[in-house]
Chains A and B, each alone.
Chain A
Amino acid sequence: MAYDCIVCVKQVPDTAHVTAEAMTPEGTVNRAALPAIFNPEDLHALEVALSVRDEYGGSVTVISMGPPKAADVLREALYRGADRAVLLTDRRAAASDTLATSYIISRAIRTLGKYDLVFCGRQAIDGDTAQVGPQTAEKLGIPQVTYLERIESVTDGVARMRRNVGNGWEVVEVKMPVLVTVLDTANEPRPPAAKRSTKYKRSRTRLELGAEVKAEMPDVSKEKAEVEIERRAETLRSRGLMIDTWNLDDIDADLSWCGLNGSPTKVHRIQAIVLTKEGYTEIPPTEEGIRRLVHELIVDHTLG
């Protein structure tokens, strides 16, 4: 029995490796200076989906919601083995909180049609909320299994899975469809395959084709450019190299549920963390210095 899998992935700034170049003189992080990467746990979600397909047959479709450059993570998913990629991009989706985001993703999943398993990374490293997975499951009206460590078996449309709940583990069984969030301890993601990389390096979204045509033929009329874009898209499509691009109309989204309007949470204030280099007492690394420190800690009852 074959299973159709959908993997939700996100392109994120690499918040875990803030380099000196990404720091402002005031000691805050310049977010724009951080490299954009494939959200780490989403790679593990992709790997689970690919291994289900490899073992049982079926398909793996990867979707990503984000700005046009999020096409980069979709290409990376294609290098690693995904069958199809869909980019969800629309300015009207900007400023969506987790609730609005999960609504939009659930609309896209419904638009894809039939599916058995939806996989997400447990959380993204820019927000660390872990909310979009469970919220998407609720919007789809399907069960959720969070913190997946491994799939034990899939038999007759029933998945048996082991989840890690921090202070222990559980094995659960659920009839598909189900949404699953995946931990980074679940597996070792396969590297991009050389042959697939060569092939899918040429995959493009329509927006990227538009930018290329504009750069290569800056003087042609809008109509002619349109014809050229369509010609290139057709060629890529015939070779399976077109990355579908959907906007909110394509997924029939109710705009009152999207973007700022659809987001109950509002950011009231943002404070940058500033690293200060002052305020500590320097203790000399000598027997005498350390003895005095320990004495001070005993006197103020820190060391009982």
Chain B
Amino acid sequence: MIDVNRKGEVWVFAEQEDGKLSDIALELCGKARELADHVGVKMAAVLPGTSVRGLTDELIAHGADKVYVVEDRRLEHYQTQPYARVICSLVEKHKPQIVVYGASAIGRDLAPRVASALRAGLTADCTDLDIADVRDAASGVTHKNLLLQIRPAFGGNIIATIVNPQRWPQMATVREGVMAMPEPDPKRGGEVVEEEVEFQELDFAVKLIERHREPHTVNLKGARTIAAGGGGVGSKEGFRVIHELAAAMGGAVGASRAAVDSGYVNKAHQVGQTGTTVRPALYIAAGISGTVQHRAGMEESAKIVAINDDPEAPILSVAHYGIVGDLNQIIPMMIRAIKERPKE
């Protein structure tokens, strides 16, 4: 734990794999830039790895003022304890006021280990971050410029705002795909700071024996339009119309957990709290009732069209357009209308 340090920087954990920065690291740069400007401090990225120097320009272009680079051949693949050692050592040395991580498989493994070692607070899976003065009702004390850590809780049925008034750094993991990716500015200048961290033998207790990565076959996050089907589609064969609609729009196929659990489509297509969070220009939800978990993963979409035979389906509460009826009749009509549109 460090004391409240109002001059402290805002930090982003620069997650990378195989020499490529994760999207979430760059999304976080955008948000952290805003937060740092709000409190009037510098924004820095922490980049551990092996031969990662080449990634610093990208972080700076996305908003970082500084990049702390820790290179060591033993940091080639992410491992909990050595990476936690890097973050803890640098936090103790530079005393940042905020540290944010992606709520990815790596971030959710790393951040709690760091928080425990620093005895600092940590909020998981934030969907928004902000800065505000917070008055403590009990003591009457107003804490200036605290990080508001906003997240769904209780299965998405409530939204909680969490603060860490006293024990800093203020830390949070942030859900992937929720923050807008900033436009990179290749002309931005920034400082690269090389750091050395002393490891202990026990930091390498876990040995990586074998590692396999699957290429992304479904690009839900990058899709401009998504046609998604739910349990109401009724069968794997029935799901074909969802694929056809997606193809007609040139978009991706999404699904609710119910559709995935019923085996209509594989898990890579799942949208929602336990799947991918998306914010496309158009999201068409067919036969999806709209559980809070599903809505949490798609309600930021610019336009939402819901097709459902139940006029009471909760999905309609987040929809811009609602079509009540049989999706097996409506979707073919929609495909025809899309294909007939005048070409420019």
Contact (Cβ within 8 A) B121 A99: yes
Q: Does A147 contact B (CB under 8 A)?
A: yes
A160 to B292, CA, bound (A): 37
Q: Given A170-B211, A266-B162, is A302 in contact with B206 using a C-beta cutoff of 8 Å? A: no
Contact (Cβ within 8 A) A160 B209: yes
Question: Which of A125, A178, A291 has the most chain B CB atoms inside 10 A of its CB?
Answer: A291
Q: Does B249 contact A (CB under 8 A)?
A: yes
Partner of B321, one of A268, A273, A293: A293
Contact (Cβ within 8 A) A280 B134: no
Shortest B131–chain A CB gap in Å is: 13
A15 to B152, CA, bound (A): 12
Set of chain B residues within 8 Å of A16, measured between Cβ atoms: 155, 293
Interface size class on chain B is: 35 or more
- Interface window among B34-42, B46-54, B122-130, B231-239: B122-130
Q: Given A268-B161, A280-B321, is A297 in contact with B122 using a C-beta cutoff of 8 Å? A: no
Contact flags (1/0) for A168-181 with B, using CB distance below 8 Å? 11111111001000
Partner of A170, one of B152, B210, B281, B302: B210
Count of residues in A whose CB is under 8 Å from the partner chain: 78
Shortest B267–chain A CB gap in Å is: 9
Q: Given A128-B124, A138-B117, A273-B157, is A264 in contact with B208 using a C-beta cutoff of 8 Å? A: no
Set of chain A residues within 8 Å of B106, measured between Cβ atoms: 165
Contact (Cβ within 8 A) B323 A272: no
Contact (Cβ within 8 A) B205 A143: yes
Q: Given A144-B109, A265-B123, is A297 in contact with B282 using a C-beta cutoff of 8 Å? A: yes
Q: Does B56 contact A (CB under 8 A)?
A: no
Shortest B97–chain A CB gap in Å is: 14
A128 to B151, CA, bound (A): 10
Partner of A139, one of B116, B157, B214: B116
Partner of B214, one of A133, A167, A297, A302: A167
Set of chain A residues within 8 Å of B124, measured between Cβ atoms: 98, 127-131
Q: Does B112 contact A (CB under 8 A)?
A: yes
Q: Given A264-B166, A268-B161, A297-B303, is A99 in contact with B209 using a C-beta cutoff of 8 Å? A: no
A278 to B117, CA, bound (A): 48
Contact (Cβ within 8 A) B81 A143: yes
Q: Does B263 contact A (CB under 8 A)?
A: no
Q: Given A264-B119, A303-B225, is A290 in contact with B334 using a C-beta cutoff of 8 Å? A: yes
Contact (Cβ within 8 A) A302 B281: yes
Q: Which residue of A lies closest to B84 (CB)?
A: A138
Q: Does B160 contact A (CB under 8 A)?
A: yes
Using CB atoms and an 8 Å cutoff, list the residues of chain A in contact with chain B: 13, 15-16, 18, 28-29, 31, 97-99, 102, 125-135, 137-139, 143-147, 160, 165-175, 178, 263-273, 275-277, 279-287, 289-291, 293-295, 297-298, 300, 302-304
Q: Using A13-B154, A268-B163, A273-B157 as known contacts, list a sample of 19 further A-B pairs with CB atoms less than 8 Å apart, ordered by residue number in A.
A: A28-B157, A31-B154, A129-B125, A130-B112, A131-B115, A135-B113, A135-B115, A143-B205, A146-B109, A166-B105, A171-B210, A265-B123, A268-B148, A277-B316, A281-B322, A287-B337, A293-B337, A297-B303, A300-B303
List, sorted by A's number, 15 A–B pairs whose CB atoms are closer than 8 Å.
A28-B157, A126-B155, A127-B154, A128-B124, A134-B112, A135-B112, A138-B116, A145-B206, A169-B212, A173-B209, A273-B158, A277-B317, A287-B333, A291-B333, A302-B225
